[in-house]
Chains A and B, each alone.
Chain A
Amino acid sequence: MGPRARPIIGVLALVAVACALPFTLTNFRLFQFTQVYVYAIAILGLNMLTGYNGQFSLGHGAFYAIGAYVSAIMMDKWDVHYAWTIPVAGVLCLVVGFLFGLPALRLEGLYLALATFSLALAVPQILKYFEHWTGGSQGIVLSKPTAPFGLPLNPDQWLYFLTLAVLIVLFWLGANLLRGRVGRAIVAIRDNHIAAEAMGINTSLYKSLVFGVSAAYTGVAGALSASVIAFVAPDSFDVFLSITLLIGSVIGGLASISGAVFGALFIQFVPNWAQDISKAAPWAIFGVFLIVFMYVMPFGIAGAIRLLWIRTQRSRVALSPEPRETAASQAPRAT
């Protein structure tokens, strides 16, 4: 087995496990895992922007909200089939993200964080303002889609598979984007944008494009969440959603594709565990979790796994009699 085949086999095994889950878990647990996949897509979007391109965003909840509302309004007002609303939400968020990315080019670091944070604050209020379309603070109640083609699945199971499929496609696209020429340009801008420009990279175009693609991923996640939860309301897209997504991307591991899934698992399940541990002050426990995770794994879960892997490879190299290229030099950098 070549070294390139190993990760592919690992991913296939994971997909097989994921496909088996709907037939072993209760509907509620299944719903939670569907939610994990939705978050993972959104976090991958944020990760492209913050992790790979180095642009801070405290406002991805806004794009999530736009995606969710585009999907919900299309379904509610125009009776569009839910499957069509997902790509439309993605494309619309791509455009909005790109346009927002243009003025944001002038801002860096904290200043960009404030701009995006304002967007996250503004969107729920704007949604309440256009009551005619959005149903105001009451929100829009939707019905859960049923499985097509007479598949013997209940709505929860069907949504699970739909989300999983979207997740796999988007992760595959994202991995190809980030590992290729475009991805190297994106990372080069993060590491040193002047040097990147000197090498002929159009930094303005790439930065706005990354903003757009990142918003599109998050928008698709939002559109999926509208179907999964079958309800949208402005208050579920407050600033805490944006902060939660940021927590997920950092805890999972910035600039890492698998990190998005780890981060999504964290933000979905750890608050519940905290609730189980202490009913009186669950968020204190959650805060302790956050701090402990960052102590133990400053580069996130994916970063910690990568370091562990490099270490085991190194010790194996040290044991083997003939010298060869060390795994450490081949492994991607941990930053």
Chain B
Amino acid sequence: MDIFIQQVVSGLATGGIYASVALALVMIYQATDVVNFGQGSMAMFATYICWAMLNAGVPYWGAFAATLAIAFVGGVVVERVVIRPVENAPILSVVIVTLGLLVIFTSIAGWIWTYVQKPFPSPFPSKPLKAGNIVLGAHDVGQIGVTLIVLLCIYLFFRFTPLGLAMRAAAHNPVSSRLVGIRVGRMLALGWGLASVFGAVAGMMVAPILTLEPNMMGGVQLYAFAAATLGGFSSPGGAVLGGFIVGVVENLVGTYVSFIGTELKLTVALAMIIAVLLVKPSGLFGTTVVKRV
């Protein structure tokens, strides 16, 4: 039982990472119908920037905040410079552009900082927390906390601020939003900026575990994609829950199903997700889009 709880908690910790990236994917998807394959590599790049600042002697939380600001500006710039010109192209063409972003960021990070793995500090104490027989890594607990705080901020932002309302409106119905005076283009750029911030948080939280290297976010991005699909691409809350579910399922499958081991873990997790999708084709919380013929 203790092992079970421990595995669930560490599953929740990685699940929180998937949830943050999944949320970033869903935000961009809702506004533009595009899955940003470059999301993970943008997050990795932001994490490298944080690493460079830490190396220059900036205290952790200072570097953390500065990285979030840089990630926001970076996301906005990417939307304006790279995505805006292909706005009216077919969706798959835009997907290819985001694949371009993925290889560009990965390659440039490798070029500047080399492909050598770099240790990344955790802001939380290294002493594990004990609750009875269960030993929990402080980083795991802190990571869950940070994810939940981010989620709370997002919820408050979208639910209670005029800007959040405008962004939701722009994503939901761009034409009508434009008619009531919302700058839809600006909202999209803002959406990319925020998505980039969530990605950066996830990157900085996952780097102490995976150690920093240019392909660090590859697997995370994949799980996040699976999580967003499981939760339903039309539902941010679903994406978050999907993230936690994927994290826990992945961990439990690796622990309890012995012949699978770490190699086939991913495949089994994905097979289970697909089984769920076959029953609920638009994800657990997604709504089916009804189109007029």
Chain A residues near B (Cβ < 8 Å): 50, 56, 103, 106-108, 110-111, 113-115, 117-118, 121-122, 125-126, 128-129, 192, 194-195, 243, 246-247, 250-251, 254, 280-284, 286-291, 294-295, 298-300, 335
A106 touches B278 (CB 8 A): yes
- Interface locus among B6-14, B103-111, B165-173: B103-111
Who on chain B is nearest to A282 by CB? B107
A122 touches B267 (CB 8 A): yes
A283 touches B103 (CB 8 A): yes
Within the complex, the shortest CB–CB distance from B153 to chain A, in Å, comes to: 26
Chain B residues, CB < 8 A from A291:
82, 97, 100-101, 104
Within the complex, the shortest CB–CB distance from B186 to chain A, in Å, comes to: 22
Task: Indicate whether B229 reaches chain A with its CB closer than 8 angstroms.
Answer: yes
B99 touches A247 (CB 8 A): yes
A287 touches B89 (CB 8 A): no
A283 touches B281 (CB 8 A): no
Task: Indicate whether B195 reaches chain A with its CB closer than 8 angstroms.
Answer: no
Chain A residues, CB < 8 A from B95:
250
Task: Indicate whether B27 reaches chain A with its CB closer than 8 angstroms.
Answer: no
Which residue from A128, A283, A299 sits with its C-beta under 8 Å from B107? A283
Query: How many of B's residues come within 8 Å of A, CB to CB?
Result: 44
Chain B residues, CB < 8 A from A254:
90, 92
Within the complex, the shortest CB–CB distance from A104 to chain B, in Å, comes to: 9
B101 touches A247 (CB 8 A): no
Chain B residues, CB < 8 A from A289:
100
A299 touches B281 (CB 8 A): no
Chain A residues, CB < 8 A from B29:
110
- Interface locus among B65-73, B116-124, B199-207, B269-277: B269-277
Who on chain B is nearest to A286 by CB? B103
Bound-complex Cα distance A335 to B277 (A): 30
Chain B residues, CB < 8 A from A250:
92-93, 95-96
Question: With A110-B233, A280-B111 in contact, do A290 and B267 touch (Cβ < 8 Å)?
Answer: no
Bound-complex Cα distance A289 to B96 (A): 11
Task: Indicate whether B293 reaches chain A with its CB closer than 8 angstroms.
Answer: yes
Chain A residues, CB < 8 A from B277:
106-107, 111, 114-115
Within the complex, the shortest CB–CB distance from A19 to chain B, in Å, comes to: 33
13 additional A-B pairs beyond A192-B293, A299-B90, beta carbons within 8 Å, are: A106-B278, A111-B229, A111-B281, A117-B270, A126-B267, A247-B99, A284-B104, A284-B111, A287-B104, A290-B99, A294-B93, A294-B100, A295-B85
Within the complex, the shortest CB–CB distance from A138 to chain B, in Å, comes to: 16
Chain B residues, CB < 8 A from A286:
100, 103, 107
Who on chain A is nearest to B275 by CB? A103
